[in-house]
Structure 1
Amino acid sequence: MSQPEPNVDEVVKTIAEETDTPTETVSKMYADMLANYREEARVFDYVPLFAAKKVRDKLRHSSKQKH
């Protein structure tokens, strides 16, 4: 049984709030990451979850380097 797709707007909003990043930036990063994962995936159930984690990690890492 496949996992339901998460609400993209909610995912983007949550990541933007957690990382203090504009939603437009997060939205673009998430869409790009999702496309990259879907291009190479054989199983698609957790692709949105992996994409969100990767975007969150990248933004957290880049914010640490600014401080």
Structure 2
Amino acid sequence: MAEEIRAEIVANVMKVVAAEGVTLGDGDPVVILESMKMEIPVLTEGSGKLTRLAVHEGDVVQEGDLLAVLE
């Protein structure tokens, strides 16, 4: 079953940590968001293969925007 990883806040994508095709474990970072000068790591809530990365460094995301898909 696919896990959609979504933004919880409005933020800038500061750094993309993981690449499509890699296998991630529970709690691994996918991207780092920046909001109000704070760095917020976005972590997986399960393990699996990162099949889609929907953002790039420098993108601005809104609350609820898709960041990545883990299968």
Above 0.5 in TM-score? Answer: no
Q: Answer with 1 or 2: which has the greater Rg.
A: 1
> Could you say which structure has the greater relative contact order, defined with CA pairs below 8 angstroms and 6 or more residues apart?
2
Considering fraction of residues, name the structure with more helix: 1
Considering fraction of residues, name the structure with more strand: 2
State TM-score, norm by structure 2.
Answer: 0.24
